[in-house]
Amino acid sequence: MLIRKPDSIASSEITPERVYVSRRHFARSLALGAGGALALSSGMSRASLTDRELDNSLELTPEGIITSYNNFYEFGTGKDDPKKYAHEMTIDPWQVKVTGAVAKPGTYDIEELLDGIAVEERIYRLRCVEAWSMVVPWMGFSLKALLDRLQPLGKAKYVEFHTLHRPSEMRGQRSFFSGIDWPYVEGLRLDEAYHPLATMAVGLYGKPLPNQNGAPWRLVVPWKYGFKSVKSIVEIRLTERQPKTTWNLLQPSEYGFYANVNPAVDHPRWSQAMERRLPSTLFSPNRVPTLPFNGYAEEVAGLYAGMDLRRHY
Ligand SMILES: Nc1nc2c(c(=O)[nH]1)N[C@H]1C(S)=C(S)[C@@H](COP(=O)(O)O)O[C@H]1N2
Ligand SMILES: [Mo]
């Protein structure tokens, strides 16, 4: 997959962080062209972010940090392992199995699933449960657009996502160190999955997703801790029961199924009240308060009306 820039948009308008920030009042739309290639469609810019969303500190994290400080345990547990080793993963061809309670099950090439779906820039905060955060200009689309194609059956209540399991190319899967029972699995309640902020990302900073960030596509759930945003997805399963998710299975007292960002509920081993907004250094830690639902409460709090979020953490 490649993203082509039309001649009408100079490259200087596309990459530098400052330009993104100053032009953040519109998101450039991308449309998928023939053969699965992404082409910027210059006449199609449209706002996909609300003004209020934009107010909430969306100064972009530099691309070099987003692509070198990663969690992707399939390639090792060090923050720098994914960048070092994720190039060993083959992402073309990429097949995706659609299973469970769905009208259109099957094995698809990713290009078939993406064909005709409009991709746009979406600038969201990403808040890791480890209390660091970034602001990422994703290229993506609402998960709903994909689910509408797959047609979940009426009895489907959850959607589950599986990451690629290929130990020959994922050295972290060859090691017993992480304790993870591969593949990495995450999931959402179906009403969460249909929320317009629930995003499938295929790129960042106007380029295809780097392998270390979850190529060729990954989930991005901006109001939840980062571990919900599962990378390099090869299976999408519609289920009636709540999925058994990787971190929840590993340490249920520390990582809940919901995992909504919540400054009022501490991790058993550290506070979640504040976060380090990257870049963060010893002398300039750049600590900012963590916001309920990572700053997206106005949009998503209604999904959890009547639920005790201390119990359903
Ligand atoms: N398959 C898979 N997906 C994953 C992870 C992982 O280890 N494996 N780590 C998660 C965690 S803890 C975070 S914070 C984000 C990090 O995404 P980034 O590296 O693109 O910033 O990816 C999430 N998705
Ligand atoms: Mo994380």
Dig out the tokens for 156 from the structure: 């489907």
Whole-prediction pTM: 0.85
* Residue-level pLDDT at 178: 76
Residues 183-229 have pLDDT tens digits of 999 999 999 999 999 999 999 999 999 999 999 999 999 999 999 99
Residue of minimum CA distance from atom 7 in ligand 1: 72
The yes-or-no verdict on residue 289 having pLDDT over 60 is yes
Q: Give the mean pLDDT of 241-254.
A: 96
Residue 119, CA distances (Å) to 60, 146, 203, 242, 289 in order: 19, 12, 9, 29, 31
Point out the ligand nearest to the CA of residue 86. Answer: 1
Ligand 2 centroid–CA 49 distance in Å is 24
**Pairwise CA distance, residues 155 & 215, whole Å:** 31
* Residue-level pLDDT at 18: 33
Q: Give the mean pLDDT of 288-308.
A: 97
Lowest mean pLDDT among 49-63, 66-80, 203-217: 49-63
Q: Give the mean pLDDT of 282-297.
A: 96
Q: Give the mean pLDDT of 16-20.
A: 34
Regarding predicted confidence, which is higher, 21 or 199?
199
Ligand 2 centroid–CA 130 distance in Å is 6
% pLDDT > 90, the chain: 80
CATH, domain 26-303, list 3.30.470.10, 3.90.420.10, 3.40.47.10, 3.40.120.10: 3.90.420.10
Closest-lying ligand 1 atom to the alpha carbon of residue 212: 19
Point out the ligand nearest to the CA of residue 213. Answer: 1
Mean residue pLDDT across the chain: 86
Closest-lying ligand 1 atom to the alpha carbon of residue 70: 19
Residue 118, CA distances (Å) to 44, 143, 235 in order: 10, 12, 21
* Residue-level pLDDT at 25: 26
- Counting ligand 1 atoms within 8 A of each CB, the residue from 69, 227, 250 with the most, and so the one to mutate, is 227
Ligand 1 centroid–CA 220 distance in Å is 10
Q: Which residues line ligand 1 (CB under 6 A)?
A: 70-74, 126, 128, 163, 184, 213-214, 226-227, 229-232
- Counting ligand 1 atoms within 8 A of each CB, the residue from 61, 66, 72, 79 with the most, and so the one to mutate, is 72
Ligand 1 centroid–CA 74 distance in Å is 10
Contact present, 83 and 214 (Cβ < 8 Å): no
The yes-or-no verdict on residue 49 having pLDDT over 60 is no
Residues 129-180 have pLDDT tens digits of 999 999 999 999 999 999 999 999 999 999 999 999 999 999 999 988 778 9
- Per the DSSP assignment, residues forming a β-bridge with 106 are 98
Ligand 1 centroid–CA 20 distance in Å is 24
Provide the pLDDT confidence category of residue 36 given band limits of 50, 70 and 90. very low
Ligand 2 centroid–CA 229 distance in Å is 9
The yes-or-no verdict on residue 60 having pLDDT over 80 is yes
* Residue-level pLDDT at 176: 80
* Residue-level pLDDT at 177: 76
Cβ count near 285 (within 10 Å): 11
* Residue-level pLDDT at 56: 59
Show the 3-state SS of 43-84. HHCECCCCHHHHHCCCCCCCHHHHCCCCCCHHHCCCCCHHHH
